[in-house]
């Protein structure tokens, strides 16, 4: 434990947001649902959906008992709706293989649909207090700045970065868990991507990037997501129609939300293939 640890932990103790999945009484399932929803999605948009989900499906078995389409519908406009599909599939696997209890080990977690390295480490850590390196975009950015002296981390996690994070992970299990959530919170609230608030950063005096004079990012161009006119936008339009419908919709209804026929057909085929939609009878479509 170093001054960096003490400072970050003290800052978290005083500044942590009171989020439902951080409650002392939050179930592992609540943590798991939050982690799925938070993938690439801001906290503010997750909060109401997470609350609704926990009320409707307080256990994995409750969700697994419903059709996948109900999960997709209740996902609302969170984005990346296949996360809802994967969460439903994970709930089913938990019922069938883990007696309805969210498993606690990283290996069991990462075997679940929709659970990758980050989410497995996060659930094991935040729901069960295990000691794992938790590397999300916030943690990576904080370490890039404070420890490596650069504005942004590499495009993907490499061995050196993982070892760096492992090297500063407290040995004590519960402290390691708090450390990870504290670093994430610092990245989310202070050491942000666009406009970091160095003036109110608790570790500014210990930050290598600041010490170096905030050198500008000089790595490869960071990928920017195209959106307008893409298949993804088209898929989103089609899914919105299916979500908002209370009965199967005719193909002609889908035609109204996207003019390019070739792209519209391709997008619909993709949704059917991904099991986000189904053709209940010829030319009539609905959520699965």
Partner DNA sequence: CAGACGTGGGT
Partner DNA sequence: TACCCAAGTCT
Min separation Cβ 148 and DNA, Å: 17
Q: Please report whether residue 224 would count as binding DNA according to CB under 7 A.
A: yes
| Count of residues engaged in binding DNA, rule: CB under 7 A | 58
96 catalytically annotated: no
* CA gap 30, 287 in Å, rounded: 25
Residue 111 has what DSSP assignment?
T
User: Which SS3 state, helix, strand or coil, does residue 96 take?
Assistant: helix
C-alpha distances in Å from residue 273, one per residue of 50, 90, 196, 267 = 27, 19, 42, 10
H-run or E-run covering 286: strand 284-286
Choose, by CB under 7 A, the member of 4, 26, 43, 208 that binds DNA. Answer: 43
**Nearest residue (CB) to DNA, 95 versus 109:** 109
Distance between CA 37 and CA 153 in Å, rounded? 23
* Shortest distance, position 29 Cβ to DNA, whole Å: 14
Query: Binders of DNA among 149-168, rule CB under 7 A?
Result: 155-156
Tokens (6 digits) for 174: 């519960």
The answer to whether 130 contacts DNA (rule: CB under 7 A) is no
Candidates 6-14, 63-71, 81-89, 247-255 — which segment interacts with DNA by CB under 7 A? 81-89
CA distance 58 to 91: 11
The correct pick among 23, 40, 97, 105 for binding DNA (CB under 7 A) is 40
Site residues for DNA, window 165-204 (CB under 7 A)? 184-185, 187-188, 192-195
Which residues are paired to 284 by β-bridges? 250, 281
Q: Is 222 in the site for DNA (CB under 7 A)?
A: yes
C-beta of 113 vs 149, nearer to DNA: 113
Active site residues: 35
């Amino acid at each position: 434990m170093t001054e960096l640890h003490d400072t970050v932990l003290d800052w978290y103790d005083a500044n942590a947001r009171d989020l439902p999945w951080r409650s002392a009484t939050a179930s592992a399932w609540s943590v798991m649902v939050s982690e799925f929803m938070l993938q690439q999605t801001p906290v503010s948009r997750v909060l109401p959906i997470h609350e609704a989900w926990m009320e409707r499906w307080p256990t994995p078995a409750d969700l697994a008992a419903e059709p996948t389409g109900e999960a997709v519908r209740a996902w609302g406009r969170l984005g990346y709706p296949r996360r809802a599909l994967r969460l439903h599939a994970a709930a089913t696997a938990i019922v069938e293989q883990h007696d309805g209890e969210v498993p606690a080990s990283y290996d069991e977690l990462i075997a679940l649909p929709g659970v990758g390295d980050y989410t497995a480490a996060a659930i094991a850590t935040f729901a069960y207090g295990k000691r794992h390196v938790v590397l999300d975009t916030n943690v990576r950015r904080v370490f890039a700045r404070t420890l490596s002296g650069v504005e942004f981390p590499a495009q993907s996690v490499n061995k050196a970065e993982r070892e760096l994070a492992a090297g500063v992970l407290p040995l004590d299990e519960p402290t390691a868990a708090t450390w990870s959530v504290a670093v994430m919170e610092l990245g989310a609230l202070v050491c942000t991507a666009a406009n970091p608030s160095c003036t109110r950063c608790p570790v500014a005096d210990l930050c290598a990037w600041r010490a170096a004079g905030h050198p500008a990012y000089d790595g490869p161009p960071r990928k920017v997501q195209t959106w307008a006119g893409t298949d993804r936008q088209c898929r989103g339009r089609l899914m919105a129609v299916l979500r908002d419908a209370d009965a199967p919709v005719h193909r002609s209804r889908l035609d109204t939300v996207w003019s390019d026929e070739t792209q519209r057909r391709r997008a619909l085929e993709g949704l059917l293939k991904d099991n986000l939609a189904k053709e209940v009878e010829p030319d009539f479509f609905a959520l699965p």
